[in-house]
Amino acid sequence: MTAELRYLSNSQEDTQKVAQKIARLFSAGDIIILHGDLGAGKTCFVKGFTKGCQSTDCVTSPTFSLAHFYKSNVVDILHIDLYRIETVDEFNDLGLTDYFDQSIVLIEWGEKFAACFEAYITISFEITGDNTRTITFTSNADKYDSLINILNNGFLC
């Protein structure tokens, strides 16, 4: 089964609040693929997500460093940007999968390597206006279907 939910964000602050709110639904070992054009809100979402996990670390895009680790009192967060990675071998050579079990993993441009992951949730960002984004949550596993069902039952209200 594949569950889906669409949410209209009216600002960067709204995107961060949604991310902050849902962060507590995730735990170490969860994989979140962030999909969207440049400037669509992926890193903005990560900023809210880390805050929701009670991290005070400064969040920046890992486009050039490829990955950032954020510490929190709740769970470690691994933020990856695969924009410049082209092959599965390049991805595997990064050695980042060694940290997947002990972190919540948020992967920008991860859709290129989705076949490498058994279970994940995709959060897509579509630019619909100067400040608005349609955020779509899509699961590929029962585990994340349950999470989307929680969101569909008024969790984001």
3-state secondary structure of 46: helix
The ranges assigned to domains in the chain are: 22-155
Name the one residue in this structure whose structure tokens are 């960002």. Answer: 125
Q: What confidence tens digit (pLDDT) does each residue in 58-115 have?
A: 999 988 899 999 999 889 999 999 999 999 999 999 999 999 999 999 999 999 999 9
pTM for this prediction: 0.94
Choosing among 3.90.330.10, 1.20.1250.20, 3.30.465.10, 3.40.50.300, the CATH entry for 22-155 is: 3.40.50.300
At residue 71, φ and ψ (nearest 5 deg) are: -95, 150
Q: What confidence tens digit (pLDDT) does each residue in 56-72 have?
A: 999 999 888 999 999 99
* Band of pLDDT at residue 30, cut at 50, 70 and 90: very high
Percent of the chain with pLDDT over 70: 99
Q: What confidence tens digit (pLDDT) does each residue in 3-13 have?
A: 899 999 999 99
Q: Please, are residues 80 and 107 in contact by the beta-carbon 8 Å criterion?
A: yes
**Exposed/middle/buried for residue 121 (C-beta within 10 Å: 0-12, 13-18, 19+):** buried
Distance, CA of 130 to CA of 147 (rounded, Å): 29
Q: What confidence tens digit (pLDDT) does each residue in 114-131 have?
A: 999 999 999 999 999 999
Question: pLDDT averaged over the chain?
Answer: 94
Distance, CA of 23 to CA of 106 (rounded, Å): 11
Sign of the CA dihedral running 75, 150, 157, 127: positive
